[in-house]
Structure 1
Amino acid sequence: MVVQDRIEREISIAAPVARVWEVITEPGHVGAWFGTDGKPAELDELRPGGRMVVDHGEHGVFPMRIVAVEPPRAFSYRWAPGFPGAEVTEDNSTLVEFTLRDEGVGTLLRIVETGFAALPAEVAARKYEDNSGGWTHMAERVRDYTENGGKLPG
């Protein structure tokens, strides 16, 4: 069975790049849109090699290893989406990349996740499917949170 290896999502956000950058990198904001209970993400330092931990509610707690930080345009990390609580390794993780681009008075946010084909066979296809829908939902949450002054509707 061939596993799809790349998820790509783009969303326009009615906010400047600097604001969207804050929302995708600052622990309090990340915990609000990515988490389910609003607790800030844990972050040792926003730098390549840094560690962030996000509580994704019923899906588990996920340690992440930061790969790139290029304010305010690009941010990426590796995480182990099929292995809640597990530290990131090359064998259990995918790469998530956020790219921000000026779009008139707003920002175009692009999210790309790759590496599913390298995951163990028992989780690869399932995590691709889960995350494919998940990133659509999360992109909308980033947009809604950013456009609503740091609050999610509802």
Structure 2
Amino acid sequence: MSDTTDGHHHDTDRIEREISIAAPVARVWAVLTEPEHVGNWFGQGEPTPVDLRPGGLMHLDHGPYGQFPTTIVRVEPPHRFAYRWASGHPGEVAVEGNSTLVEFTLTPEGDGTRLRVVESGFDTIDIPEGRTGASYESHAEGWSGQTENIRQYAERLAA
């Protein structure tokens, strides 16, 4: 296997985004984990049920794409939050094998926060035919929009 192929393989397994947010770490943590906030930047404006503990479920409502019971993996307030998301399987609880891992890392940056999002595991999941919303490309674009949503939302709250 040539280096090029291997490099490409790595590129499509994980997505990384970093953004600076003019709001303190505690506020950004709340935006990512509290039911009313998640419902506002991610979903339909309704509070999102969140059982904030490893093994707990966070129910993401992705509108026309369906409902996604994501499984929370790590909760280390206010710096690390991770969950599994079976984006190719609406309505199915995310477990290893059907889902990608989404990890948020929050680092203080002056008075603000540097937020890093990594979604990994695309190479190991089967995406059902026709579920283009679950593809690497779709998520790569999606996270660019979502991190911007998180930033704007957190900065409005901080104002």
Q: Report what 1:129 is aligned to.
A: 137
Q: Which runs of 4+ in 1 moved over 3 A?
A: 121-126
Report the 3-state secondary structure (helix = DSSP H, G, I; strand = E; otherwise coil) of the residue aligned with 2:106.
strand
Encode CA deviations 1:65-99: one digit per residue, 9 max, x unaligned.
00000000000000101111111121210000000
Please say if residues 88 and 128 of structure 2, whose CA atoms lie closer than 8 Å, have aligned partners that are also in contact: no
Q: 1:55: how far off?
A: 0.6
- Secondary structure of 1:76's partner? strand
Partner residue, 1:41: 48
Gaps of 5+ in 1: none
Hey, what's the Cα distance between the residues in 2 that align with 1:93 and 1:64? 9
Indicate the larger mover: 119-128 or 11-20.
119-128
Percent identical residues: 56
Where 1:22 maps in the other structure, the secondary structure is helix
**Aligned pair partner of 2:84 in 78, 89, 92:** 78
3-state SS in 2 of match to 1:96: strand
Report the alpha carbon displacement of residue 42 of structure 1 after superposing the two structures with TM: 1.1
With normalisation by structure 2, the TM-score equals 0.87
Q: Which residue of 1 aligns with 2:108?
A: 102
Greater Rg over alpha carbons, structure: 2
Deviation at 1:121, TM superposition (A): 5.6
After TM superposition, list the pairs within 5 Å mapping 1:1-154 onto structure 2.
Answer: 4-35=12-43, 37-43=44-50, 45-120=51-126, 122=128, 127-149=135-157
Instruction: Tell me the C-alpha RMSD between the 2 structures.
Output: 2.0
* In 2, Cα distance between equivalents of 1:22 and 1:13: 13
Q: What is the rounded CA distance, in whole Å, between the counterparts of 2:81 and 2:102 in structure 1?
A: 8
In the alignment, structure 2 segments of 5+ residues that lack a partner are none
Name the CA shift for 1:68/1:129 in 2 (closer, same or farther; >3 Å).
Answer: same
In 2 relative to 1, CA 119–148 (structure 1 residues): closer, same or farther, beyond 3 Å?
same
